[in-house]
Amino acid sequence: MTTKTIVLAGGGHAHALLLHQLIRKPLPGAQVVMVSPDRYTPYSGMLPGLIAGQYQPNEMHINLSELCRLSGCEFVQGHAVKLDADNAILSIDGGRGFHYDWLSINTGSLPQSPAGFEQSDRGMTVIGVKPVKQFLSWLDDLEVQLPVLPSFALGVLGLGAAGTEVVLALEHRLCQRFPGVSLHLVGAGGLLSGHPLAVQQYAREHLTARHIKLHENVQASLVPGGLQSGQGKTIFLNAVVLCTSARPDGWLRNSGLALDEQGFVSVDNALRSRSHPNVFAAGDMATLVSQPHPKSGVYAVRHAAVLDVNLRHLLMGKRAIDYKPQRQSLALLNMADGRAIGSRGAVTVAGRWVWHWKHWLDQRFMKQFPRGFER
């Protein structure tokens, strides 16, 4: 039997879990290579807790290079920059190319950029919450500058779960120590739309009690020194953190792979590319054409098990199995003050015990992996 080469592009949730599975049950007849720009990948479910000071960076980062060592896979540090899907070659920065029999893509997503993002004169900092490493380093630098600034208006763009959690975590981290900091949560539509009304109301109460100014239904454009609504009203800011909906980072644009209208990989029910069946995609990068589902970590986690089975089946010459997305998923929002809100379907719970429940679930997830962090 000839050895097959499987290349894993990106160390997102799905690939980390796949490697964890390979420790217990290796893939016979396969050589597995992981390509990742960093040795450590963040678990974003704990990011609001990290911002709020509830966790240290090494508690919420998975050590990918160690996972590779334990599972007998090769770890290659590099950014996937180009894919030639017709010739099955993945290239990383620095020019190294990998010929693969099967490729799996789990490179996550970035926040959407608002209108006006291209202009060079922004008059303020604009930073995405992802890549997480870049965001954390910006936050550390900001804390060094804040003691000498009389005031600092910080905006968070995006009214979904990530934006809500991040603004509350920033409030917890910054506002008591630096009274000149004011916070704004801005976005199109309403706060946490798609979540139950009770969740929206609870989050609204937290924002009000903690003096965070909420700007709903604002189709914001970046203008020098702030964000402008469609009606021409400007919210003046010193910095804005993007927690907007997911977009791909664009490295697959000329790959020849079938992509959806946003640029994510279009996959069939077995998580295989609709144009190139030797390519899988998982996590935020995958758009399941038959049943599109939200881009969130809970789905990335579920993709891992299907990916694992399908790679084994292909190696054994068996048929791939289908992924069936769950209809509802549990959402747990960290309010960053020791409390959390949880909801599944129409059921909503809130309070300190919900934070402890979330903490327990997050710890249980992270305990599966070697952890660590480097700046």
Ligand X SMILES: Cc1cc2nc3c(=O)[nH]c(=O)nc-3n(C[C@H](O)[C@H](O)[C@H](O)COP(=O)(O)OP(=O)(O)OC[C@H]3O[C@@H](n4cnc5c(N)ncnc54)[C@H](O)[C@@H]3O)c2cc1C
Pick between residue 11 and residue 226 the one whose CB is nearest to ligand X: 11
DSSP states along 178-195: -TTEEEEEE-SS-TTTTS
**Closest by CA position to 106, among listed 174, 156, 35:** 35
CB contact set of 236 (below 8 Å; sequence gap of 6+): 153, 225, 226
Residue 347 near residue 197 (C-beta atoms within 8 A)? no
Contact between 273 and ligand X per CB under 6 A: no
Does the CA dihedral 42-46-49-55 come out positive or negative? Answer: negative
Residue 108 binds ligand X, judged by CB under 6 A: yes
Binds ligand X by CB under 6 A, chosen from 284, 310, 355, 369: 284
What residues numbered 225-244 form the site for ligand X, per CB under 6 A?
A: 243
Distance of closest approach, residue 190 Cβ to ligand X, in angstroms:
19
Residue 166 interacts with ligand X (CB under 6 A)? yes
Residue 240 CB, shortest distance to ligand X, in Å, is: 15
Pick from 67, 162, 199, 271: which binds ligand X (CB under 6 A)? Answer: 162
Q: Which residue, 12 or 226, is less far from ligand X as judged by CB?
A: 12
Residue 159 lies near ligand X (rule: CB under 6 A):
no
Q: Of residues 37, 225, 256, 263, which one binds ligand X by CB under 6 A?
A: 37
Q: Distance between CA 148 and CA 249 in Å, rounded?
A: 36
83 binds ligand X (CB under 6 A): no
Helix or strand or coil: residue 203? helix
Q: Give the nearer residue to ligand X in terms of CB position, either 228 or 255.
A: 255
Minimum Å gap between C-beta 260 and ligand X is 15
Based on the shown chain and the rule CB under 6 A, indicate whether residue 106 belongs to the binding site for ligand X: yes
Of the candidates 6, 215, 2, the one whose C-alpha atom is nearest the C-alpha of residue 98 is 6
| Cβ neighbourhood burial of 108 (10 Å; 0-12, 13-18, 19+) | buried
Are 319 and 298 in contact, with CB atoms under 8 Å apart?
Answer: no
Of 40, 42, 98, which Cα lies nearest the Cα of 65? 40
| Residue 308 contacts ligand X per CB under 6 A | no
- Does position 10 interact with ligand X (CB under 6 A)? The reply is yes
Selected from 19, 22, 32, 47, the binder of ligand X by CB under 6 A is 47
Residue ranges binding ligand X (CB under 6 A): 9-14, 35-38, 41, 44-45, 47-48, 79-80, 106-108, 129-130, 162, 165-166, 243, 249, 251, 283-285, 295-298, 300
